[in-house]
Amino acid sequence: MLATAQLVADRLKQSEDPAVRQLAPRLERTIDRAAGLAASTLKYGRADEAPPRLQRVIVAEAAEEAAAEALVGFAMDYRADIETGLACMADPDHLHRVLSNLVRNAAQAMKDHARAEKAVTVRGILVDGRCEIDVIDHGPGVPEKLRARLFEPFVSAAPEAGGAGLGLAIARELTLAMGGNLELARSGAEGATFRVTLPAA
C-alpha cells in the first residue's frame, strides 16, 4: 500500500496542474509518517515476542517439517542436502517459523518462473562450530535494487504475492534472538540462496 502511494505521489509531481503538483510533497510526508508509525508498531509487537527457549534441534527434522507445511498448495519438490546428525541450538517454534517463511518464499519465487526445475533445496553443513542452513530456489533471483533493504519491514521481493513484506524482517529478528543470523547469501539469474546461521549443538 505504501509503495502504491509513493507511486501516486511521483505521478502527481509530473502533473501539469500546479495545484496538483503542490499536493505531492504533502502526500510524501504523509507516506513517511505512515511508514514510521508502521515500523514503530512492528517494533512494539516484537517487544512482546516470547524470548527464545534454546534447545538442541535436529536440522533435517526441522527443515522437513517446515517444508511440509510451507509447500502446501505448490507443485514443488523438496530436496534435503543436510549433513547427517547436524544439530543446532534454537527455539523449535522460532526456527520453524523462519524456515517455513524461507521455503514458502522460495516456492513463490519459482511458481510462475519459466524454469523446468521446480524444487526447493535445504542444505545444511557445520562450519566453525556453527550450523549453516541454506534455502535455495531456482527462481529469477532478488532484484538488485531491493537487496540492501530486503530485511526491512514492508519491503517485499514479490509484491504480487499479496504479502505485507514482513516475513523476512520477522524471520531475521527471530534468528538474531537465537544468537544467529539470516542473510541473502546469493542471488542471480540461477536463483537465490538465503542462509540461516545458528550455533551448533
Q: What is the mean pLDDT of residues 188-199?
A: 94
Q: How many domains in the chain?
A: 2
Residues 37 and 70 in one domain: no
Whole-number pLDDT of residue 162: 47
Over the stretch 112-166, which tens digit does the pLDDT of each residue have? Answer: 776 657 899 999 999 999 999 999 999 888 888 877 788 887 666 655 544 556 7
26 and 71 assigned to the same domain: no
Contact at 8 Å (CB) between 113 and 139? yes
Q: State whether 129 and 102 are in the same domain.
A: yes
**Residue 19 and residue 108 share a domain:** no
Assign 3-class secondary structure to 68-88. Answer: HHHCCCCCCEEEEEECCCCEE
Q: Mark whether 124 and 183 lie in a shared domain.
A: yes
pLDDT of residue 44: 41
Do residue 41 and residue 65 come from a single domain?
no
CB 146 within 8 A of CB 157: yes
Owning domain of residue 13: 2-47
Residue 89 sits at φ, ψ, to 5 deg, of -90, 115
Alpha helices by DSSP H, listed for 92-166, are 92-111, 144-147
Q: What does pTM read for this prediction?
A: 0.73
CATH code, domain carrying 99: 3.30.565.10
pLDDT surpasses 90 at 28: no
101-120 pLDDT, tens digit each: 999 999 998 887 766 578 99
Percentage of the chain surpassing pLDDT 70?
Answer: 68
Are 43 and 116 in the same domain?
no
Do 84 and 171 belong to one domain? yes
pLDDT of 92 reads 95
Say whether pLDDT at 99 is over 90. Answer: yes
41, 59: one domain? no
Query: Are residue 38 and residue 78 in the same domain, yes or no?
Result: no
Give the residue-averaged pLDDT of 169-179: 93
In terms of Cβ atoms closer than 10 Å to its own Cβ (0-12, 13-18, 19+), residue 137 is buried
Residues 12 and 79 in one domain: no
Residues 61 and 128 reside in one and the same domain: yes
